[in-house]
Chain A
């Protein structure tokens, strides 16, 4: 028996590890380093209705134990992604999760509907939490009413299960989670980045051209753990956890907090092999802390 396997709505994962959206593009670059079939799933970079160029550069800055980014959802648009990128990923023995973004309810609906036309995508991750675009994204992700509305709209347009990606930039994460669960979400994905800023001393200006960026990396892991721990106790849908994961111990910590699967983001940049390395060491890590399987560890930290 594979003790790493986990079943989630729409997803039969051979292991709970997947690269996070935006940190892995559409897999091509990392396929040069290892066989993507090793991964439990792949969450593709966000798709919008039409092509987006994104923000001016600089778009990234390193911070203590993390980084800020403001890419701005650069992507070739949902049609090109379906035509060129999805078939590439479909060659691999792994699940494909499409990240759906937009500026309006109509755009979210259009993108979601388009992914439903392919039989190569297994689930949608609804991106209502990108902090780096002026319209859409976060405005849907910080108001429970709007979050529910966009979830409902996308659920109507989709037979694929919908995981709603929550923003940590809110006062009450549980209200957001409950709102999207009531609106029909099949799962949650949390957390997206925390809005931050860094000022460059020589120029006295924000280092990132967009001024603010999303903070990711190990610095935000405790925030993610806390939010998942809280939310898990108030919803019954599964959670894909993310935020600063860089090794198998981090994965176990997310499982204990209540996540059923775990996405790895920023850590891919420093170590392109981080996902396969985590997958290889996870059985031993589970074992060392007294668990027989991934399933066995989910939510066991909640007391």
Chain B
């Protein structure tokens, strides 16, 4: 269950261009969060919270790792906070990736940009279930690349940059066929990427995680809706998602 909690910063580090990794401590969220859920972060002086996905959990140390991109004044202010300081979050928020009951033996993780982080916590949990993990991670350019080593520890990993400055050149969809056989996929990234991925893998079962500008983050304000295939139907990304089965929503 989502709660309003205070988290204490343990570390803050810039790990790529405009990209920050922050480790925070909170006993409740660290025990409850599952992969794909997010924290709805309050930044002092800002009207709206920022939804930031959970990149990792350490239940023993009671810590949560979040990775975010500095795209505006709110995320810049968050990045400027120091260890020992604390802030307020709603979390764990949303519905995460379902892994229980997934009989697939080989899993493909497809991440794009700031959509990569939640796939790490997911991959770690899947690896515990003895599944083979293959990752295809896309970034704009070399300077944006992060978390490569962590994914390599989970399994075979392909890095793609749009300009070819690092790894393969192109889009994640250009590299998927090189990944070899897999029976299920999980993907998180910008909408155009998710559209291309779900179209290319239309015959494979999978789950996707969506991002959208959010208001309340609890399902009340109807800011972050996505249409479903049924007539007039919709889902709320913050509370029904952010993770959906690929057939559940129409991108």
Contact = CB atoms under 8 A, between A and B. Distances in A.
B14 to A, nearest CB: 21
Contacts of A71: 221-223
Interface residues of B, number: 29
Contacts of A268: 216, 220
Nearest to A19: B220
A88 interface: no
A217 B221 CA distance: 14
A59 B223 contact: yes
A69 B47 contact: no
Interface string B209-238: 000111111111111111100001010000
A54 B232 CA distance: 10
A23 B219 CA distance: 10
Interface of B: 1-2, 4, 42, 46-49, 74, 90, 212-227, 232, 234, 239
A51 to B, nearest CB: 6
A60 B49 CA distance: 12
Interface size class of A (residues with CB under 8 A): 35 or more
Interface in A235-273: 266, 268-273
B46 to A, nearest CB: 6
A52 to B, nearest CB: 9
A117 interface: no
B48 A32 contact: no
Given A25-B220, A57-B213, A71-B223, 12 more contacts: A23-B220, A25-B219, A25-B221, A29-B216, A30-B218, A32-B218, A33-B4, A59-B215, A59-B225, A63-B47, A67-B47, A71-B222
Contacts of B223: 57-60, 69, 71
A61 B74 CA distance: 12
A45 to B, nearest CB: 8
Contact of A62 (B4, B48, B216, B222): B48
Interface in A63-85: 63, 65-67, 69, 71, 74
A218 interface: yes
B222 A269 contact: no
B74 A62 contact: yes
